[in-house]
Amino acid sequence: MDFRTEFKPLTVQPEQIEGRSFEMINEEIGEHPFTEEQYPIVQRIIHASADFELGQSVLFHPDAIQSGIRAIRSGKMVVADVQMIQSGANKARIQKFGGEIKVYISDPDVIQEAKRLNTTRAIISMRKAIKEADGGIFAIGNAPTALLELIRLIKEGEAKPGLVIGLPVGFVSAAESKEELAKLDIPFITNIGRKGGSTVTVAALNAISIMAERG
């Protein structure tokens, strides 16, 4: 059989595709422990990853969503650990309230300081970010070392984020960093295990910004 003759491209609008995707997620997820407030975030994480196991592993601090909404509506900064999050997030919704998304990992002073101290740029970028992003949202999807450093700074009272979206992916310290985040009494969204990544971090951030925009 010539499969090339079988393919018919979709002609529906992107909104229809997204809507149908969400319907399919609702049909397949079955019973879940998430509240009505939490579920839209989980839904978008599954939509971004096509991974129900990942979606169902998400953990929320009780104040996470409302604190994130307040941060956005107050024009607080969003700090991302990598450029991919900045590129994928809906910047217009953040900027609507006077905020911005910043990434420090490629700043010349961060690179220089990381070389001087023989450490990672991700660690130094967090040390720089906390000086400018008090009460803001930290969105970490790539670098477990960034999340571990942020946790250290929080424990030492140097960082006071409004929300930490900590969903780094990987084999070295990814699961462990999220376990440590879940122990903190600060607003967080994280998950259990190695899975995560920039795309699902963007999905969670975008879901929060949609809620902020809708009031």
The pLDDT tens digits of the residues spanning 71-129 come to 999 999 999 999 999 999 999 999 999 999 999 999 999 999 999 999 999 999 999 99
Active site residue 47: yes
Lowest mean pLDDT among 25-34, 63-72, 155-164: 25-34
Mean pLDDT of 188-214: 97
Angle between helices 198-214 and 39-49 (to 10 degrees): 140
Residue 31: what pLDDT? 87
6 is a domain residue: no
Three-state DSSP state, 188: strand
**Number of structural domains found in the chain:** 1
49 is a domain residue: yes
CATH code at position 18? 3.40.50.10230
In terms of pTM, does the model score above 0.85? Answer: yes
2 is a domain residue: no
167 is a domain residue: yes
**Of residues 44, 47, 61, 93, which has the active-site annotation?**
47
Q: What are 3-59's pLDDT values in tens digits?
A: 555 656 655 677 788 888 889 999 999 889 999 999 999 999 999 999 999 999 999
For residue 126, give the nearest of 101, 157, 156, 105 by alpha carbon: 105
Residue 175: what pLDDT? 97
Per the CB < 8 A criterion, the answer to whether 186 and 66 are in contact is no
3 is a domain residue: no
Domain region containing 202: 11-214
Buried b (16+ CB within 10 A) or exposed e, 10-44: eeeeeeeeeeeeeeebeeebeeeebeeebbbbbbb
